[in-house]
Amino acid sequence: MPLFKCIASRLWGSLDGVASQWLRPQDSNLDLTAPKAVVLPLHQGGLVGLLPSQSARADNGAMSERDEVDYIVEAWKAERPELDLTPLEVLSRVTRIGKRLDRLRRSVFAAHGVDVWEFDVLATLRRSGKPYQLSPSALMEQTMVTSGAMTNRINRLLSRGLVTRDTDSDDGRRVVVGLRPEGKRLVDRALDDLLAAEEQALTRLGVNDRTELVSLLRVLSLTMESD
């Protein structure tokens, strides 16, 4: 079995429980893979009334949960039965979970008065260890933003008193950005709340499920990064 199809087959099973918990019907309105029947605006009914119950009866008579991607894949199978839709089954769920995770994180960080990008910079400094200092170029590399964007972000955090910008004591030609105590306290509190929220999101996955999911996602990430 090709590597991707093997990963996709196993990853689908692990993601299914997470997806069914996080996804709401309106999330499909943003999904370009959704069939025409399910991209109606919500005020026109959206998915409500258009789809079967979220629980479908399996062949053995037991109730098995289904998520929105199941219905999307079924629709495509009816229209294009010759296609292998395994990649769609996996990556549509990854995309939708990513959207929900982004909203979850924004909500957590907003409670602490920071934007996602502010947390990214502060967290990068925090996990670098004492003395919690990095060069702007190192911050750029780890947060994957341009030089201009990083300059604006550092200036914003400087104005809030969360970071410092000084000359490196070992190299006067080098500038370093440091985490102030206020920034350290803020990022620690935000991280605590983020992990609590994400733990709640993963509550239906056991230890073994999480371990397998981490392994599968790592393989998938490395595979896509190498393309």
Confidence band for 159, pLDDT divided at 50, 70 and 90: very high
CA 166 and chain centroid, separation: 33
- The more confident residue out of 226 and 142 is 142
In a domain, 190, yes or no: no
pLDDT of the residue at 21? 54
Residues 101 and 137 occupy one common structural domain: no
In a domain, 155, yes or no: yes
- Domain membership of residue 135 as a residue range: 116-179
Residues 120 and 107 occupy one common structural domain: no
What percentage of the chain reaches a pLDDT higher than 70?
70
pLDDT of the residue at 60? 44
Neighbours of 144 (CB within 10 A): 8
In a domain, 82, yes or no: yes
What residues have CB less than 8 Å from 205, skipping those under 6 apart? 14, 17, 18, 213
In a domain, 205, yes or no: no
Residues 72 and 169 occupy one common structural domain: no
CATH number at residue 124: 1.10.10.10
Residues 162 and 131 occupy one common structural domain: yes
Is pLDDT of 13 > 80?
Answer: no
Q: Tokens standing for 156? A: 């914003």
Residues 161 and 141 occupy one common structural domain: yes
Domain stop point among 111, 131, 161? 111
- Backbone dihedral region for residue 53 (phi beyond 0: left; psi -120 to 50: alpha; all else: beta): beta
pLDDT of the residue at 58? 44
Q: Phi/psi at 168 (nearest 5 deg)? A: -60, 130
pLDDT of the residue at 6? 59
Contact call for residues 139 and 123 (beta carbons, < 8 A): no
Is pLDDT of 143 > 70?
Answer: yes
Is pLDDT of 18 > 80?
Answer: no
Q: Which of 55, 28, 58 is nearest to 41 (CA)?
A: 28
Residues 16 and 96 occupy one common structural domain: yes
Give the 3-state secondary structure percentages of the chain, helix then strand then coil, rounded to 5: 65, 10, 25
Per DSSP, 166 falls in state: E
In a domain, 11, yes or no: yes
Query: How many structural domains compose the chain?
Result: 2
In a domain, 204, yes or no: no
pLDDT of the residue at 50? 33
Residues 106 and 120 occupy one common structural domain: no
Is pLDDT of 193 > 90?
Answer: yes
pLDDT tens-digit map of 205-225: 999 999 999 999 999 999 988
Residue 204 to residue 13: CA distance in whole angstroms:
13
Residues 7 and 92 occupy one common structural domain: yes
Residues 33 and 93 occupy one common structural domain: yes
Is pLDDT of 57 > 50?
Answer: no
Least confident of 1-10, 128-137, 188-197: 1-10
In a domain, 49, yes or no: yes
Angle at 58 between CA 53 and CA 64, to 5 degrees: 55
Residues 83 and 11 occupy one common structural domain: yes
In a domain, 226, yes or no: no
What percentage of the chain reaches a pLDDT higher than 90?
65
Residues 37 and 76 occupy one common structural domain: yes
pLDDT tens-digit map of 73-121: 999 999 999 999 999 999 999 999 999 999 999 999 999 999 999 999 9
Residues 36 and 126 occupy one common structural domain: no
What residues have CB less than 8 Å from 188, skipping those under 6 apart? 126
Cβ contacts of 151-157, under 8 Å, gap ≥ 24: 153/117, 153/118, 153/121, 154/121, 156/118, 157/118, 157/121, 157/122, 157/183
pLDDT of the residue at 85? 95
